[in-house]
Structure 1
Amino acid sequence: MSRFSNNEAGKPAGSDSFSGDEQTLYDHPTSDDEGYDDGRPSGEAMDGDRDILESEDERERLLTQKDGVPGLFGKKTVTIGKNEQRQGGRSKRHKKKGRREESSSLMYEMEEGVGLSSSSVSRNSSESDERRLRATTSQRKTRRKRICRRLAIHSSILVLFAILLFAAYRVSVRSKPTIPGMMKSNGTSLFAPTTILISLDGFRADFLYRDLTPTLNRFIENGISPKYMLPSFPSVTFPNHYTMATGLYPEAHGVVGNTFWDPSLQKEFYYTDPNRSLQPFWWGGEPLWVTAERQNARVGVHMWPGSEAHITHFKPAYVDKFNGSELLPLKVDRIMGLLDLPGPLDEGVELDRPRPQLIAAYVPNVDSDGHEYGPNSTEIRQTIRSADSMLESILQGLQERNLTEIVNVVVVSDHGMATTDVERLIQLEDLVDPNDFEHVDGWPLFGLRPKKIDDLASLHQQLLEKAKNVPQVEVYLRDKDMPERYHFSRNKRIAPLWIIPKAGWAIVDKTEFDVVEGKKKGDVYHPRGLHGYDHEHPLMRAIFVARGPAFPHEPNSRMEPFQNIELYNIVCDSIGIQPAPNNGTLRLPLKPVGLHTDPETMPNETPSDPVESAGFLATITMDTFSSLIASTSGLEDALTDPVEDFPSPTTSSAPPAETTVSENWWEWLTHKAQDAEEWVEDFVNNHVPGGSETETKPST
């Protein structure tokens, strides 16, 4: 290697013989300025070197991230001008020790032929870096594709696994038998906790005090019951049956009447029309049959209102459609047939259709005959007896199957009934102009929806003025003064303006019945019995009686009266399922307050019922026959008092000494003849050899 020496001008001897690149090493004074890098001044960097730097920058940018974010290899970068260098990375390739050492090193490489020209180095480095860059980019794309492919495969596996897991769960839920430890044997089969729920539509609480229901009265003596159960407002069939099935007030579950308008859906609910009542959007909450089926307890539903609607995908295992003409013995056969099915652990049981743990049966007969003939008619007496005979057949069937101490039986009703009369009719047109209203909901209550909502205040005021002369009606605004105890305001399906008649009164429009003309002609108003009034009125009281292993109380236990929102929890607890959220608070075990036979127990109440008019026959006074009447059974049917808002009750234990009776003469004689016939039948059956109990045909 040639040696060089610097002259005073800073140039080596013989500098003229150096190449251009070599000459530039001595064109600047010696300095420690960091503008030099790798033996070359930064200000004089050639194009090839700039290419190398840019290639390096691009490669560094791909392998790291900007702004101090960790790169692929966990290193951070900082920005210096346009170039990024790794912090804490490898050290610089050369430490600057001075211009002469750098120059000697560079010249040594060039003279020995080890180094290449700057353009050659730049080109080779650039091509190499580009190849590495392309390789790195290709690898990253390949890696990304592999990751995406793996993620897609794993996601598909997870989704498929979730589907299979859900399917297995559904199969296990539908097929899982009840735990044997919870089951009881009747000698031939194991029974899970089982309850029969029977609803006697329209069975008024004081029907129990007419000496017409020996089976129900014995049932009370062996079970637990209050003096009565309160319905919910309005006291009509569909809202109350769905309240008993859900534990929710009508305003909460949405079935706010037998007929009503939904302003959001712009549809009308009409209880007797399947096309306007069986769609699931009408039915809110969770009914018993859904709660039970969701928890692997099979259900059989016999004509219960709402059970035919597909409220959720959990459907009862057995559903019987409504048939108002079905004879009561057939209902007994159906209930016993469901109990005779194989249990979940028996051989031959169908996977989804074993014996149901809950059997809910609806009996419409008392209600239909109460409407047709009135709650104090001769006909209703026979209907009450028939309902009682049906219960006797059910209890006898349980005894024959050794199920009396295994199966719970709960008997309820949804509301009572009040007698109507042409003298207690109110003409709607005397209160409001029907043409001002778009929809009229409910009955015998009237829920009014004005054609123009802005007219609501004026129509309300007009109605209040008219009602001052009609004390038999009450007027309420849904959003202003509806009684809180009604729980009948928090749903837009409830009309904004209401006319509520008092018990025994009815509001009619002229297209239905012209009151003035009807009175002149002596017409009889139908229906002869009505309900739907204030749910706390004594004539609207319902019944609740329960007996079975879920009710381990002293026989003839008495509890405080309660509202029918409590029934849902009671039935759920009786078969061991968890109820859905609801408005009820009672849970099993029930808490008796005493016995029905305790001296402090209030006597049986027979509330006064509005009397029927005498028609063309004169009203007579039966003072001379009071002793004869008092000696007959069915005294409550023959004795009636004048109409009161909340009448003072009479009691079966202390009838009045003298009672003025206002009753149709023919009807009174019919009642007495009926009583005489019963006495003769009892005498023949009990005292005449070969005499047998007369079979009673159920009333339809």
Structure 2
Amino acid sequence: MKKYNLFLFCLLLAASVFAQDTTQKVIPNRKNSIAQQKKPYVILISADGFRYDYAKKYNAQHLLDLSSRGVQAESMIPSYPSVTFPNHYALVSGLYPSHSGLVNNTFYDRKRNDNYSMSDKQKVSDSSWYFGSPLWVLAEQQKMLSASFYWVASEAAIQGVNPTYYYVYNDKIDIHNRISTVVNWLKLPEDKRPHFITFYFPQVDHAGHTFGPDAPETGREVHFVDSAVNELNKAVKTTGLDVNFIFVSDHGMTKIDREHPMGIPPAIDTAKFKISGDGILVELYARDKTAIQPTYDKLKAEAKGYEVYLKNNVPANLHYGQTDDWHNRIGDILLIPHYPLIFNLWNSRKINIGWHGYDPYSVKDMHATFLAWGPAFKEGKQIPSFKNVDVFNLVNRILGLKYNGKTDGTDQLANNVLKEK
């Protein structure tokens, strides 16, 4: 009996450790200032992996109809590398990954002698990994309340600030309850009502990885998001508020060559280099700096199917080299496979059909979606492709927020799509 009780205790303990936190977090004693109570409302929605052409490819009728009365972009160009965490943060900070410090989904920090990983909840919620001022931080600092139903870094108190209302990321809250929560936020008294809300969907990305961008399973998830956004749009109308919607994604998706994966090149001595990254970008961090040049030379001589760069000769348009590495988190040597090849460094038995992470200027499948509608936007406006860091300035303009810090975004998007006041 004692052994059984001990076993049961261990099971319960394990369950408590891995249980997902579904409770809403509310920062007390915050209020909108009188001036901010008169400002517009913005809901920023991200559908992870929603490629630039998915809405038309899969006939996402609600998204197409809603945005036809607002703004539709040819595509939105993600920052390099075109992966989830860096690009979600680029959207809300206006900074390239090399400038925000969130240089990849996983990376090594030399000064800390530590690794960041998007799968490590403790690291994700540690604000010391992030630089810049996300939109919710700016809003809260200027006495405008914000809320987040998931977004990269919203769980971290950056500059000591979280959104007033937020959730720790989990997959247990169904879409109807999430939509009800947003509506309840917008029905709060004016001094407690958030004016900036983020909302996130993971489903399309998961399907794209598992089944590929052309699979019916991916199409079904596109339709799920399409229906959910329509439900959200209709539910928000019941509040009587004129709300601006911005629908984006972090990156696209493409089908890769799974038949010819590349392993660790023979020139790499793992005793001299720490290896980080994934199949689309491999970064080598030197344990011994004298090994950098000879290893680079050997890699250049033997490279087939990939490019090799020192940090000081990465193509400038990627903003991922020595000059842009503000926080010393980019590898000393970078290996970038030729599309559609990938690395399989860890000898994984299963390689996903769909991938992203390639240079978006050479692989258009990496491009993301941008659609918008609401009272602030011009109607029936179609625009060419633009960089995702411009979204930061756009939201600031709508909400009337002030920002004097560094940004990589421009006002071009805002000037192009917003009505004149």
Category of TM-score, reference length = shorter chain: 0.7 to 0.9
- Pairing partner for 1:253 from 75, 88, 100: 100
Instruction: Tell me if the contact between 1:503 and 1:539 (Cα under 8 Å) persists in the aligned partners.
Output: no
What one-letter code is carried by the residue in structure 1 that aligns with 2:213? Answer: P
* Residues in 2 aligned to 1:410 and 1:504: alpha-carbon distance in whole angstroms: 31
2:4 maps to none
* Residues in 1 aligned to 2:134 and 2:201: alpha-carbon distance in whole angstroms: 19
What one-letter code is carried by the residue in structure 2 that aligns with 1:292? Answer: A
Change (3 A) 1:580 1:335: farther
After TM superposition, the structure 1 = structure 2 runs for residues 129-148 of structure 1, keeping only pairs within 5 Å, are none
Change (3 A) 1:588 1:575: farther
1:529 maps to 354
- Pairing partner for 1:294 from 133, 136, 141: 141
* Residues in 1 aligned to 2:162 and 2:409: alpha-carbon distance in whole angstroms: 23
| CA deviation profile, 1:6-27 (whole Å, cap 9, x unmatched) | xxxxxxxxxxxxxxxxxxxxxx
What one-letter code is carried by the residue in structure 2 that aligns with 1:437? Answer: F
Task: Report the CA distance between 1:402 and its aligned residue.
Answer: 3.1
What one-letter code is carried by the residue in structure 1 that aligns with 2:336? Answer: I
What one-letter code is carried by the residue in structure 2 that aligns with 1:586? Answer: D
Instruction: Tell me if the contact between 2:45 and 2:199 (Cα under 8 Å) persists in the aligned partners.
Output: yes
* Residues in 2 aligned to 1:356 and 1:215: alpha-carbon distance in whole angstroms: 25
| CA deviation profile, 1:608-665 (whole Å, cap 9, x unmatched) | xxxxxxxxxxxxxxxxxxxxxxxxxxxxxxxxxxxxxxxxxxxxxxxxxxxxxxxxxx
Task: Report the CA distance between 1:325 and its aligned residue.
Answer: 4.6
- Pairing partner for 1:411 from 247, 266, 291: 247
Higher percent of residues as helix:
1
- Pairing partner for 1:324 from 168, 171, 174: 171
SS in 2 for 1:527: coil
Task: Report the CA distance between 1:342 and its aligned residue.
Answer: 1.8
* Residues in 1 aligned to 2:101 and 2:248: alpha-carbon distance in whole angstroms: 22
SS in 1 for 2:280: coil
What one-letter code is carried by the residue in structure 2 that aligns with 1:485? Answer: N
Change (3 A) 1:343 1:587: farther
TM-score by length of 2: 0.86
2:301 maps to 465
Change (3 A) 1:544 1:579: farther
Instruction: Tell me if the contact between 1:427 and 1:508 (Cα under 8 Å) persists in the aligned partners.
Output: yes
Instruction: Tell me if the contact between 1:232 and 1:486 (Cα under 8 Å) persists in the aligned partners.
Output: yes
* Residues in 2 aligned to 1:212 and 1:430: alpha-carbon distance in whole angstroms: 47
| CA deviation profile, 1:532-559 (whole Å, cap 9, x unmatched) | 11022210000111111221x1x22012
* Residues in 1 aligned to 2:51 and 2:249: alpha-carbon distance in whole angstroms: 8
Task: Report the CA distance between 1:358 and its aligned residue.
Answer: 0.4
What one-letter code is carried by the residue in structure 1 that aligns with 2:306? Answer: V
What one-letter code is carried by the residue in structure 1 that aligns with 2:152? Answer: P
Instruction: Tell me if the contact between 1:573 and 1:588 (Cα under 8 Å) persists in the aligned partners.
Output: no
1:599 maps to none
* Residues in 2 aligned to 1:560 and 1:570: alpha-carbon distance in whole angstroms: 16
2:263 maps to 427
After TM superposition, the structure 1 = structure 2 runs for residues 227-626 of structure 1, keeping only pairs within 5 Å, are 227-344=74-191, 354-403=192-241, 406-429=242-265, 432-467=268-303, 470=304, 472-479=305-312, 481-489=313-321, 490-491=324-325, 492-509=328-345, 511-513=347-349, 525-536=350-361, 537-551=363-377, 553=378, 555-581=379-405, 582-586=407-411, 589-591=414-416
Task: Report the CA distance between 1:437 and its aligned residue.
Answer: 1.9
2:26 aligned with 1:178, yes or no? no
SS in 1 for 2:91: helix
What one-letter code is carried by the residue in structure 2 that aligns with 1:259? Answer: T
| CA deviation profile, 1:655-679 (whole Å, cap 9, x unmatched) | xxxxxxxxxxxxxxxxxxxxxxxxx
2:66 aligned with 1:224, yes or no? no
Task: Report the CA distance between 1:487 and its aligned residue.
Answer: 0.6
Instruction: Tell me if the contact between 2:149 and 2:199 (Cα under 8 Å) persists in the aligned partners.
Output: yes
TM-score by length of 1: 0.53
Task: Report the CA distance between 1:396 and its aligned residue.
Answer: 1.1
| CA deviation profile, 1:241-281 (whole Å, cap 9, x unmatched) | 11111001111110100111110111110111022332221
* Residues in 2 aligned to 1:532 and 1:383: alpha-carbon distance in whole angstroms: 21
Instruction: Tell me if the contact between 2:265 and 2:299 (Cα under 8 Å) persists in the aligned partners.
Output: no
| CA deviation profile, 1:459-498 (whole Å, cap 9, x unmatched) | 101111111xx2x31111112x101111112221000101
What one-letter code is carried by the residue in structure 2 that aligns with 1:407? Answer: V
Instruction: Tell me if the contact between 1:291 and 1:580 (Cα under 8 Å) persists in the aligned partners.
Output: no
* Residues in 1 aligned to 2:181 and 2:226: alpha-carbon distance in whole angstroms: 17
What one-letter code is carried by the residue in structure 2 that aligns with 1:320? Answer: Y
**Comparing both chains, which one has the higher relative contact order based on Cα–Cα distances under 8 Å and sequence gaps of 6 or more?**
2
Q: Which blocks of at least 5 consecutive residues in structure 1 are unaligned?
A: 1-172, 184-191, 345-353, 514-524, 594-700
* Residues in 2 aligned to 1:435 and 1:447: alpha-carbon distance in whole angstroms: 15
| Bigger radius of gyration | 1
Instruction: Tell me if the contact between 1:286 and 1:580 (Cα under 8 Å) persists in the aligned partners.
Output: no
| CA deviation profile, 1:94-150 (whole Å, cap 9, x unmatched) | xxxxxxxxxxxxxxxxxxxxxxxxxxxxxxxxxxxxxxxxxxxxxxxxxxxxxxxxx
Change (3 A) 1:307 1:464: same
Change (3 A) 1:217 1:499: same
What one-letter code is carried by the residue in structure 2 that aligns with 1:527? Answer: N
* Residues in 2 aligned to 1:237 and 1:433: alpha-carbon distance in whole angstroms: 30
* Residues in 2 aligned to 1:531 and 1:424: alpha-carbon distance in whole angstroms: 17
SS in 1 for 2:224: helix
Change (3 A) 1:430 1:508: farther
Instruction: Tell me if the contact between 2:107 and 2:115 (Cα under 8 Å) persists in the aligned partners.
Output: yes
SS in 2 for 1:425: coil
Instruction: Tell me if the contact between 1:290 and 1:315 (Cα under 8 Å) persists in the aligned partners.
Output: yes
Change (3 A) 1:464 1:289: same
Task: Report the CA distance between 1:381 and its aligned residue.
Answer: 1.0
What one-letter code is carried by the residue in structure 2 that aligns with 1:473? Answer: Y
Instruction: Tell me if the contact between 2:32 and 2:145 (Cα under 8 Å) persists in the aligned partners.
Output: no
* Residues in 1 aligned to 2:166 and 2:247: alpha-carbon distance in whole angstroms: 20
| CA deviation profile, 1:493-522 (whole Å, cap 9, x unmatched) | 000101111333210125434xxxxxxxxx
SS in 1 for 2:147: strand
- Pairing partner for 1:197 from 39, 44, 47: 44
Change (3 A) 1:177 1:276: closer
What one-letter code is carried by the residue in structure 2 that aligns with 1:217? Answer: L
- Cα root mean square deviation, aligned: 2.1
Task: Report the CA distance between 1:359 and its aligned residue.
Answer: 0.5
Q: Percent identity?
A: 31
After TM superposition, the structure 1 = structure 2 runs for residues 43-192 of structure 1, keeping only pairs within 5 Å, are 174-175=30-31, 177-179=33-35, 183=38, 192=39
Task: Report the CA distance between 1:331 and its aligned residue.
Answer: 2.6
| CA deviation profile, 1:212-269 (whole Å, cap 9, x unmatched) | 3001111221111320000000001111111111001111110100111110111110
Change (3 A) 1:575 1:261: same
Q: What is the count of residue pairs matched by the alignment?
A: 384
* Residues in 2 aligned to 1:451 and 1:174: alpha-carbon distance in whole angstroms: 47
* Residues in 1 aligned to 2:244 and 2:31: alpha-carbon distance in whole angstroms: 24
